[in-house]
Structure 1
Amino acid sequence: MPNPSLPRPGRRTTTDVPTIHVPAERAVVDCAIYIDGTRLPGRYTHAAALAEVRRRGEGFVWLGLHQPDEHQMTSVARTFDLHELTVEDAVHAHQRPKLERYDDLLFLVLRTVTYVEHESVTTTNDIVETGEILLFTGPDFIISVRHGDHSELSAVRAHLEADPEQLGLGPAAVLHAIADHVVDTYLAVTTAVEPDVDDLEEFVFTPDTRIAVEQIYLLKREIVQLRRAVVPLAEPLQRLIRSPGNPIPKDIRRYFRDVADHHTTVSDRIATFDETLSTLLDAAIAKVTVQQNTDMRRISAWVAIAAVPTMIAGVYGMNFDHMPELHWEYSYYVVVGVIALIVTVLFVLFRRNKWL
């Protein structure tokens, strides 16, 4: 009798299903060979491109990847002899900006940002989105790994290909161009965010407006996200400029100084935004507190006014036989008149003191 725990002949189990690996070429956006700053015609796989460069003994390979999986990145790493730790970072992303060196290999992580268009800063929840670019730079290759849909480098590649003299400086020129492009987007995003901060500031300090403190928190959260993506890049840029034994040529280091200057400008802007939002938050909380105090005074004034007829009606509502003026013909009209007089006097006093 067959054992029911064993798979039947011809019956496929889940463990029999083979894992289908998508080839690395599916993650390749572009792969090109550059000799003296000029792109060689033809299409190459990453392995064939590197083999051709090393056969010629000149030029370099620029390989662009978009969100490769572990198998694809492992295949590329095997071809270019990348360190296994950098491969893990390239697959899972979500890294802080950093620079690591492995012998002749530089590994640079850049966070990308983009501005999310919206109608009003008081109604949106998202202002900034982030992505990531990881760069592997060797003597005869540069690999750019992108995460996110807004971090395209096609414009950077086209700009460099139109300038063979700059591209002829090698992979370091591409490294600079991508870093410069990313920092320029930082400038563009902070320029776009500035009107949002100004609009929120105007809204907070406009009289007779109610501001939701949560909206300031949301914008501050976006600025914090922007700061975490931008500010940590300062240290890697300084290392690219000043680090001893740096494989970056001197001519390229001069260009990195300009990138670092722009990055400092962006960092200063973000710090200003953060300080402004902190001030707005304090002002909004103070405004809410003042409004609450005003509401409490208004409520207290109406309670005081309502207490007068309540007290008088309570006294004359007691069922005693012997009370002053209880059986007088005009008692009702006198009591109502006294109530109206006292209520009117209180109303005038509260209004004069701006409690009502």
Structure 2
Amino acid sequence: MPSIPLPFHGPGRIRRSTAVPHIRVPTARAIVDCAVYVDGERLPGRFTHEQALVAARERGGFVWLGLHDPDADQMGEVAATFDLHALAVEDAVQAHQRPKLERYDDTLVMVMRTVAYREHELHTVSEIVETGELMIFTAPDFVIAVRHGEHSPLAMVRRELEADPDRLRLGTGSVLHAIADHVVDTYIAVVQAVEFDIDAMEEEVFTPRTPITVEAIYQLKRKWWNCGAR
């Protein structure tokens, strides 16, 4: 059987690159929840982010849009609808920002680092605290929460506010405050969990034939320090 010559890519020959087609993922895939609130109450029905903004402006309410790990195309579509500043949008896609509060025209942008405690064996100290990022765009007629990471969902915050119409009537500022308060509460819970691990580890390290070393305690305390315990 005759052999089939294979393409030659040695010196003097040009390798043809195969372009990988860009696959656009619908923006809806990144949306966790999208709702319109008027006079402290959530309007019934489902909205796209475009429909939600129109309804909020027509009825004097505001949109609360939640996004999880949006890509550049998805975030760009949202930015075009809500007229978000390009620099802030770039930060929202790239993540890895320091905590900050900035103003772009009528929009406040807050960046917060999120943390979560991971269950682990007592003598294992690596990756016991997971970190993520949360960026909140706040204007008079919308709140857009962009979350990076698999933890710190905001569904509970939304449920608590929906059960308290008086707070929602205060507008988008009350949503921003509730989200920030939730993030701070998770920091406190994580620090307390790590402190408990430190106490348990220090107690066990003096137990005969324990597998725990002083180095493990040192590493755990470094985690505790990085969580913000001062």
Give the TM-score, by structure 1 length: 0.57
The structure-2 alpha-carbon separation of the partners of 1:166 and 1:206, relative to structure 1 and needing over 3 Å to count, comes to same
Question: 8 Å contact 1:132–1:151 — kept in the other structure?
Answer: no
Matched, 1:38 2:41: yes
Q: 1:163 to 1:206 in 2, by over 3 A?
A: same
- Aligned CA RMSD, in angstroms, stands at 2.1
Report the secondary structure of 2:185's partner residue: helix
Match of 1:25 in 2: 28
The CA distance in 2 between the partners of 1:173 and 1:73, in whole Å, is 24
* 1:184 match: 185
Structure 1 residues 183-206: Cα deviation after superposition (integer angstroms, max 9, x where no partner): 111111112111112123334566
CA distance in 2, matches of 1:155, 1:199: 31
Counterpart for residue 5 of structure 2: none
CA distance in 1, matches of 2:28, 2:78: 9
Aligned to 1:160: 161
The AA in structure 1 aligned to 2:77 is S
Aligned equivalent of 2:68: 66
Which aligned pairs between 1:309-320 and structure 2 lie closer than 5 A? none
- Secondary structure at the counterpart of residue 184 of structure 2: helix
Whole-Å Cα distance in 2 between the matches of residues 14 and 83 of structure 1? Answer: 35
- C-alpha contact 2:118 2:127 (8 A) present in aligned 1: yes
1:208 Cα shift? 8.3
**Which structure is higher in strand share?**
2
Which structure is larger by alpha-carbon Rg, 1 or 2?
Answer: 1
Percent same amino acid among aligned pairs? Answer: 64
Give the number of the structure whose residues are more often helix, by fraction. Answer: 1
Give the conservation status (yes or no) of the 8 Å contact 2:194–2:220.
Answer: no
Alignment partner, residue 115 of structure 2? 113
Give the total of aligned pairs: 215
Q: Matched residue of 1:85: which SS?
A: helix
What TM-score comes out, normalization by structure 2 length? 0.86
Tell me the equivalent position of 2:224.
223
| 8 Å contact kept, 1:66–1:145 | yes
Q: Which residue of 2 aligns with 1:317?
A: none
Measure, in 2, the Cα distance between the counterparts of 1:51 and 1:79: 10
For the 8 Å contact 2:37–2:61, the answer to whether it is kept is yes
| Partner deviation per Cα, 1:218-262 (whole Å, 9 max, x = no partner) | 2134224323xxxxxxxxxxxxxxxxxxxxxxxxxxxxxxxxxxx
Q: Secondary structure of 1:22's partner?
A: coil
Q: Is the 8 A contact 2:134 2:146 kept in 1?
A: yes
Partner-residue secondary structure (3-state), 2:98: coil
The equivalent position to 2:18 in structure 1, one of 1, 14, 17, is 14
Residue type at the aligned position of 2:29: R
Q: Distance in 2 between matches of 1:173 and 1:210?
A: 49
List runs of 5+ in structure 1 lacking aligned partners: 1-12, 228-269, 272-356
Q: What corresponds to 2:77 in structure 1? A: 75
